[in-house]
Structure 1
Amino acid sequence: MQQDLAHDLNHVLRVVKSAKALCAKEGACLEVVLPAAYLHDCFSFPKNHPDRARSSHIAAEKAVEFLASIGYPSEYFEAIHHAIVAHSFSANIKPETVEAQIVQDADRLDALGAIGIARCIQVSSGLGVGLYDAVDPFSEDRELNDRQYTIDHFYTKLFKLKDKMNTRSAIEEAEKRTNYMKQYLKQLGSEI
């Protein structure tokens, strides 16, 4: 199954980097956060797949199977499984531990800022979605439709992520990255 370019190894490495930083700031268990961050997207249906919301459940099962096969301490499996299942936006599962909150926050931070803009465009391009509506690019007189216009996705999902962060450290970073994205749209508006 071909993975979209926005969920490649570089995405995983950025999520791991953010998760490590959040783990240190929030005093969480690295033995849970690190494997969950590395393996959070070890399986994923495409964005437009009808079973998309099940991706994190399948990834969590595969991750625990892999960790068991390499002799990783089993006392962490339940927490790792939960962190992977709960990281997914589409699964809509509340993270019950600080470790799960961190993995979810780290993954969501990667949808914001400069990298978030690039990833949004990558995903939309892969799905054949246009950048913006030529008549009403910022949806002032039409309903938002992120299946038709990439810029609409900023409003339907991405700008809402800062209010869905769990940890104080992630909230602060999400605010910075969201402000950057708003500046990008302001610049885009001046160019179109």
Structure 2
Amino acid sequence: MRPLGSGARMNLQHWQAQFERWLKNHHTHQDSAHDLCHFRRVWATAQKLAADEDVDMLVILTACYFHDVVSLAKNHPQRQRSSLLAAEETRRILSAEFADFPSEKIDAICHAIAAHSFSAQITPLTVEAKIVQDADRLEALGAIGLARVFAVSGSLGMALFDGEDPFAQRRPLDDKRYALDHFQTKLLKLPQTMQTAKGKLLAQHNARFLVEFMAKLSAELAGENEGVDHTVIDAFSPVD
């Protein structure tokens, strides 16, 4: 993000205020992992990832605020279509609710929204889409990611982990049944999917936090409350 003039900053602030006002009135039934606070955090991260990049910040801002305007539950049969549905709904919202929004930016915004999802497997083709994807995926790692995993799994009535085999050494992974399995099925894979160099470094850093949590959990399950299980750290630490 090249330095913005006062007019460009004011324009972003104007649209951010407009989006927040609309979302507070119309996006009120989402879980805590996909709410307005999530959109704000993704936008804050995206601004850091966009530093020194020649990008359209209004495209990024808008995609950050609407990327989960449709977010189907983890156990929904059409879950993988969430980002496509969110892109379609964003197109409708911008056209119907924000008459003065620059229409020439909508295609780029909708592409960034469609491509942000891990499950959709859509390749981001623009720098803006890559930044939005990375910013959203960073939300799934670190302390916030840890909290989100267990918040979502609790709302779905899932077990925290398999007490007999918590790290799935002798069974197939099943993150629709056990929250901890989601670390291996998705979260620890995220650093290798990052689109920007800065995003990858941050993802590796935050993935290590999740591995440290796993190592601490493993130690406690073995009755060791003061240390960590270094075999878990060796097995799951992200590759640089």
Q: CA deviation at 1:15?
A: 0.7
Alignment match, 2:121: 92
Q: Does the CA-based 8 Å contact 2:50-2:131 persist in structure 1?
A: yes
Q: Point out the more displaced range, 124-133 or 170-179.
A: 124-133
Alignment match, 2:50: 23
Give, as a single letter, the amino acid of the residue that structure 1 aligns with 2:109.
I
Query: Percent sequence identity over matched residues?
Result: 49
Query: Where does the alignment leave 5 or more consecutive residues of structure 2 unmatched?
Result: 1-27, 222-240
1:101 maps to 2:130: yes
Larger RCO, structure (CA 8 Å, separation 6 or more): 1
Per-residue Cα deviation, 1:51-73 (whole angstroms, up to 9, x for no partner)? 22222122112222322332111
Q: Does the CA-based 8 Å contact 2:31-2:152 persist in structure 1?
A: yes
Structure 2: how far apart are the matches of 1:72 and 1:21? 24
Structure 1: how far apart are the matches of 2:52 and 2:142? 20
1:145 maps to 2:174: yes
Structure 1: how far apart are the matches of 2:210 and 2:116? 22
Query: Where does the alignment leave 5 or more consecutive residues of structure 1 unmatched?
Result: none
SS at match of 2:33: helix
Q: Point out the more displaced range, 59-68 or 121-130.
A: 59-68
Task: Please provide the CA RMSD for this pair.
Answer: 1.5
Alignment match, 1:187: 216
Q: How does 1:1-192 map to 2 (within 5 A)?
A: 2-68=29-95, 69-70=97-98, 71-192=100-221
Per-residue Cα deviation, 1:107-132 (whole angstroms, up to 9, x for no partner)? 11100011101101111111111111
Structure 2: how far apart are the matches of 1:84 and 1:65? 13
SS at match of 1:149: coil
Structure 1: how far apart are the matches of 2:31 and 2:52? 31
Q: CA deviation at 1:88?
A: 1.2
Aligned residues between the structures: 192
Structure 2: how far apart are the matches of 1:151 and 1:40? 25
More helix by share: 1
Q: Does the CA-based 8 Å contact 1:23-1:33 persist in structure 2?
A: no
Q: Which has the larger radius of gyration?
A: 2
CA separation of 1:154 and 1:25: change in aligned 2, threshold 3 A:
farther
Q: Does the CA-based 8 Å contact 1:36-1:80 persist in structure 2?
A: yes
Give, as a single letter, the amino acid of the residue that structure 2 aligns with 1:32.
V
Structure 1: how far apart are the matches of 2:92 and 2:168? 46
Q: Does the CA-based 8 Å contact 1:4-1:46 persist in structure 2?
A: no
Q: Does the CA-based 8 Å contact 1:146-1:153 persist in structure 2?
A: yes
SS at match of 1:24: coil
Q: Does the CA-based 8 Å contact 1:162-1:174 persist in structure 2?
A: yes
Structure 2: how far apart are the matches of 1:142 and 1:7? 31
Q: Does the CA-based 8 Å contact 1:25-1:169 persist in structure 2?
A: no
Q: Does the CA-based 8 Å contact 1:26-1:169 persist in structure 2?
A: no
